């Protein structure tokens, strides 16, 4: 008997419920068409509404409840909007985004993968036609580094206040992240219909990002680990960029990058830049994974936030969330062959839909649902 796979849908805040409504409808259509052994359950938390009713963003056992699922899809968290409503229930970022950090840390989702690939019809901000060939995967360390939340404020609120924010980097987390980047570079090369060419006729590449000239302690740890692991992957081209130079080259020549591996903060910044190169955050998906343990549910989410300025106005592009759903289905594909077919069909639907100018959240969903039903 085929095992039923469970997907948790967390609409969240702001535009999250709007894009999740569209995504849930598309998922239902895929389940029906491809007879997928998939069951989706929607949760009212985490969200500002839940906090307003219960005094917290999600139940105390929220993370434990989600452990029972095979994958999680999040709409957005943050300011619920719309910003012209002076009575909206607003919380600090530390509270409203707390569940996302809790899920990443408590589920040990230590790798954040954010692909950046330009699709014909998407907005294009670079005039160079080579930007059409952008196809990179930024892998961000997701469990420590600059976002370790270590430090404090001494004599807070006084003229002599001292604030410290301590970065934490460990050899174990560095090793697993960089090794995963090399593995993904090999996988991407094997999956391409036509090979890409890098140095010495290699078909895959990993670029390490640091700021080792100014932050040598963790920079050298990353560099030494990268150099050692690279010897095990002689078929993969390698190079290193300082983060400021990488930002410039993401704009000057983004088509030269394949897999990029970076710390938590640097990966956060670079993936937002990569998203703009490929049409903007409204077209950028992401995955939070534990590649070492498939029993842990992965968390997928669009790169965009809750966008309170357009919340409730039918102006949110749902395709970033739909792309995240396609990544989720790719992740579950090894468990059932039909899921892989559904994932590819969704990828194709989204790519084909780029020929249409964005016409509204609901209208985009209706158009995609009609084409899915029509076959």
Tokens found for residue 173: 């987390």
Query: Residue 115: pLDDT band by 50, 70, 90 thresholds?
Result: very high
Closest by CA position to 76, among listed 308, 359, 364: 308
Residue range 179-218, pLDDT digits in tens: 999 999 999 999 999 999 999 999 999 999 999 999 999 9
Query: How far are the Cα atoms of 210, 251, 265, 320, 334 from residue 246, in angstroms, in the given order?
Result: 9, 9, 14, 24, 34
pLDDT band, residue 250 (cuts 50/70/90): very high
Identify how many contiguous H helices and E strands the chain contains and give both numbers. Answer: 12, 12
Name 209's bridge partners: 241
Q: Say whether pTM exceeds 0.75.
A: yes
Lowest-confidence segment of 250-254, 354-358, 366-370 by average pLDDT: 354-358
Partnered with residue 150 across adjacent β-strands are 166
Percent of the chain with pLDDT strictly greater than 70 = 100
Q: Is the pLDDT of residue 2 over 90?
A: no
How many percent of the chain have pLDDT more than 90? 95
Task: State the pLDDT at residue 343.
Answer: 98
DSSP letter for 260, please.
E
The answer to whether 229 and 171 have CB atoms below 8 angstroms apart is no
What are the pLDDT digits (tens) for 5-63?
A: 999 999 999 999 999 999 999 999 999 999 999 999 999 999 999 999 999 999 999 99
pLDDT in tens, 326-356: 999 999 999 999 999 999 999 999 999 999 9
Q: Is the pLDDT of residue 263 over 70?
A: yes
Q: Residues of 278-298 as b/e, b for ≥16 C-beta within 10 angstroms?
A: bbbbbbbbbbbbbbeeeeebb
- When pLDDT is cut at 50, 70 and 90, the band that residue 1 belongs to is low
Does residue 8 sit in helix, strand or coil? strand
In tens, the pLDDT along 52-100 reads 999 999 999 999 999 999 999 999 999 999 999 999 999 999 999 999 9
On the CB side of 202, CA atoms within 13 Å amount to 18
d(C-alpha 265, C-alpha 69), whole Å: 29
Mean pLDDT, the chain, whole residue set: 96
d(CA 220, CA 225): 8
Q: In what order do the strands lie in the sheet with 204-210?
A: 38-42, 5-12, 71-76, 298-302, 285-289, 111-117, 135-141, 259-262, 204-210, 236-242
């Amino acid at each position: 008997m085929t095992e039923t796979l469970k997907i948790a849908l967390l609409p969240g805040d702001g535009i999250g419920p709007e894009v999740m409504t569209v995504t849930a409808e598309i998922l239902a259509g895929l389940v029906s068409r491809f007879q997928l052994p998939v069951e989706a359950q929607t949760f009212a938390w985490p969200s500002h509404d839940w906090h307003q009713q219960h005094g917290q963003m999600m139940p105390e056992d929220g993370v434990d409840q989600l452990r029972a699922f095979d994958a999680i899809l999040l709409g957005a968290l943050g300011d619920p909007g719309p910003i012209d409503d002076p009575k909206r229930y607003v919380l600090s970022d530390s509270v409203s985004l707390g569940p996302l950090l809790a899920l990443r840390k408590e589920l040990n989702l230590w790798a954040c993968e954010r692909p950046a690939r330009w699709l014909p019809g998407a907005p294009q901000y670079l005039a160079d036609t080579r930007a059409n060939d952008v196809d990179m995967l930024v892998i961000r360390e997701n469990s420590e580094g600059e976002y370790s939340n270590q430090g404090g404020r001494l004599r807070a609120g006084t003229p002599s206040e001292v604030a410290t924010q301590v970065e934490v980097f460990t050899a174990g987390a560095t090793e697993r992240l960089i090794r995963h980047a090399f593995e993904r570079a090999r996988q991407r090369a094997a999956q391409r219909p036509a090979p890409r060419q890098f140095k010495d006729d290699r078909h895959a590449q990993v670029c390490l990002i640091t700021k080792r000239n100014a932050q040598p302690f963790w920079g050298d740890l990353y560099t030494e680990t990268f150099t050692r692991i690279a010897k095990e992957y002689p078929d993969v081209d390698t190079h290193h960029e300082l983060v400021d130079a990488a930002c410039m080259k993401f704009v000057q020549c983004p088509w030269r990058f394949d897999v990029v591996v970076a710390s938590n903060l640097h990966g956060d910044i670079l993936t937002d830049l990569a998203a703009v190169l490929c049409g903007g955050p409204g077209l950028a998906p992401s995955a939070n994974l534990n590649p070492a343990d498939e029993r842990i549910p992965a968390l997928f989410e669009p790169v965009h936030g809750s966008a309170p300025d357009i919340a409730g106005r039918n102006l949110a592009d749902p395709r970033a969330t739909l792309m995240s759903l396609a990544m989720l289905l790719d992740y579950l594909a090894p468990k059932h062959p039909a899921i892989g077919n559904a994932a590819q069909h969704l990828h194709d639907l989204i790519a084909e839909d780029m020929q249409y100018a964005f016409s509204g959240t609901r209208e985009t969903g209706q158009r995609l649902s009609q084409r899915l039903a029509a076959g």
